[in-house]
Every structure is written in structure tokens, then in C-alpha cells.
Chain A
Amino acid sequence: NAGVTQTPKFQVLKTGQSMTLQCAQDMNHNSMYWYRQDPGMGLRLIYYSASEGTTDKGEVPNGYNVSRLNKREFSLRLESAAPSQTSVYFCASSEGTSLSEQYFGPGTRLTVT
């Protein structure tokens, strides 16, 4: 039982390049989330998927797109990376109720030069 896995762990991009961050969970959770973590700002929600087949914007969606490929997988795409997207990205999953614990992956550290 791996929980929530993310790939890659580290990535360096040049401005304008694109990439996809992958996330998978093996807990049969309904809901999945993408956050970014920046110093002094806590975690901010980028996009979330309440259930398979649905996605919604969070607090900071600009410059990102997501795909809920199936119940297990939720990917985050940067179409044209900008230095402002340098951050640590976390994927999480939960059963999806207001009381549910969110389980986090180990994170992807992204640098855009």
C-alpha cells in the first residue's frame, strides 16, 4: 500500500517549457487535490477533483490544467512554465467528505529558470 505517489521528485524547466506532474493513489479515494507550497504562504489549492470525471478550480488555478484520468490518477500540467511557478507541488487524496483526512504525497520540487 504505497498511499499517494508523485513523479517526478525534482524538475528544472526553462521558461516556456511544458511538463506534466503525475499523481496516483491506491486508497480508492474519491477526491484528489493539487496544492503548491511557497515559503510563508502555506499550501494553496490549485485544482481539485471531487470525484472521477469532475475537476474544479481552487485558489490559484492560472497557468495550470488538470486531468482526472481515472479514479487513481490526477495529473497537473504546466503548458508554458513561468518563474512564478517555481514551488513545491503536493498531491493529496481523501474520501471526500468535510471530515475526511487528506493524505499527501511526498511532493515535487519544481524550479523554473
Chain B
Amino acid sequence: AQSVTQLGSHVSVSEGALVLLRCNYSSSVPPYLFWYVQYPNQGLQLLLKYTSAATLVKGINGFEAEFKKSETSFHLTKPSAHMSDAAEYFCAVSLTGGGNKLTFGTGTQLKVEL
């Protein structure tokens, strides 16, 4: 069975600082990995996904994530935080050939301060 672990339920950064949100996965087969973002009182929307084509994946709003098999990680980064980045971020995994069932992490709430 696959799973993801997000370290840090709350992360606070200053505007303009680096954003780093951590995600580690556990999977017995090559996984597909996703980052979703949830703004207050809204549904989730896709930020980016890893599909084995490239280990560094670029997404929307300046976010990117790097797949590191040796560390079983897929951390999300953004060089410079904006106030508008304040939201909850979820890492998720699906299995090759497993249809489209996603297993989500518990989420990380990002706060951006002036």
C-alpha cells in the first residue's frame, strides 16, 4: 500500500522568503506524485505532478518539486513567497496501473507574514 507523510502541519515564512514544504512517500512500485493546493473555503486544485518524465517538475504560481528516489521525497519549493500563497498544501500519491485513486497526506498550512 502507498502512503505519503507531510512533515510539519504548519509552516510560517516571511514574504519574499523561500518556501519549503516536505513530502515523503512510501510505495512498493514506482509512484505518481501530486501536490494540490486548497485556498480557504474552496476545493483542491492541482499545483504540479510527477509522472517519471523528469525529476524536477515545475507547476503553477512559481512552485516546483523535485522527485528524489533515494530519499523517497517529493518536496515542494518556491523561491520567494507571496501573501497570496497562504493556503493548505497536500501531497498525494497514486500507483502505476492503480487507476486514479489518490492517497493524500495530512496537509501543511502555509502562513506568509509581512
- A: which residues have CB within 8 A of B? 4, 31, 40-45, 48, 50, 58, 90, 92, 94-102, 104-107
Q: State which of B42, B97, B106 has its C-beta within 8 Å of the C-beta of A42.
A: B106
CB distance B49 to A104 under 8 Å?
no
- The answer to whether B101 and A45 have CB atoms under 8 Å apart is yes
Q: Is the CB of B94 within 8 A of A98?
A: yes
Query: Are the C-beta atoms of B102 and A31 separated by less than 8 Å?
Result: no
Residues of A within 8 A of B104 (CB): 42-44
> Chain B's nearest CB lies how many Å from the CB of A112?
20
Given A42-B107, A43-B104, CB of A106 within 8 Å of CB of B43: yes
The reply to whether A98 and B95 form a contact with Cβ atoms under 8 Å apart is yes
The answer to whether residues A31 and B99 also contact, given A4-B43, A98-B32, A98-B94 and a CB cut-off of 8 A, is yes
**Interface size of B in residues (CB-CB distance below 8 Å):** 26
A40-B106, A43-B90, A98-B95 known; A58 vs B101 contact (CB < 8 Å):
yes
* Interface class of chain A by DSSP: loop
Secondary structure class of chain B's binding surface, majority of residues: loop
Q: Which residues of B contact A43 (CB under 8 A)?
A: 44, 90, 102, 104
Contact between chains at A98 and B49 (CB < 8 Å): no
Given contacts A105-B43, A106-B42, A106-B43, contact A94 B100 (CB under 8 A): yes
When the two chains form their complex, are residues A104 and B99 in contact, meaning their CB atoms are under 8 A apart? no
Closest to B50 in A: A99
Residue of A with least CB distance to B44: A104
B26 within 8 A of A: no
A67 to chain B, nearest CB (A): 19
**Chain B residues with CB below 8 A from A101, complex form:** 34, 46, 49
10 more CB-based (< 8 A) A-B contacts, given A4-B43, A43-B102, A96-B99 = A42-B105, A42-B107, A45-B102, A50-B100, A58-B101, A92-B43, A95-B100, A96-B100, A98-B99, A102-B44
